[in-house]
Structure 1
Amino acid sequence: MKLLENKGYVKHTQKDYSVSFKLQIVAEIESGQLSRSEACHKYGIEAKLTIREWLRKYGNYDWENQSRITVSKAPEQKII
């Protein structure tokens, strides 16, 4: 963060988060362990919009039909 010429403005830079970190947060929210607000506070993420985008990209919610989708596995995909 940089302080610009005595104006008191602090420039925030975008952080790069790993895919595993994003998936962990999405899983915690979808399992009901955290809300988006709680996740922002716990992990220091500045915008709830960031987490909403991760939920859209990595989550199990069907944003087109506004419902959760259940994907069943074919017999050859199941681990025995």
Structure 2
Amino acid sequence: MKNPTTAYVKRTQKDYTISFKLQVVNAIENGALTASQAVEPCGISSRSTDTN
């Protein structure tokens, strides 16, 4: 039996730590940031990420 070769595929998804997620959510809930404002400075790839 031959071993199949697998190609490495780079992930584009970011893994955020729980503390980072809580900081962003806290800032949004306290009114310091809107969901739209949190996207760029926090490095979130899309707005749908922070609303799910």
Asked if TM exceeds 0.5, the reply is yes
Q: 1 or 2, which has the higher helix percentage? A: 2
Q: TM-score, normalised by structure 2?
A: 0.73
Query: Unmatched 5+ residue regions in structure 1?
Result: 1-10, 54-80
**Identity of paired residues, percent?**
49
CA RMSD of aligned residues (A): 1.5
Higher normalized contact order (CA 8 Å, seq sep 6+, divided by chain length): 2
Query: Unmatched 5+ residue regions in structure 2?
Result: 1-9
Instruction: Report the number of matched residues.
Output: 43
Q: 1 or 2, which has the higher strand percentage? A: 1
Rg (Cα) greater in structure: 1
Summarize deviations over 1:8-67 as a string: whole Å, max 9, x none.
xxx8700000011000000000000001111001111111111112xxxxxxxxxxxxxx
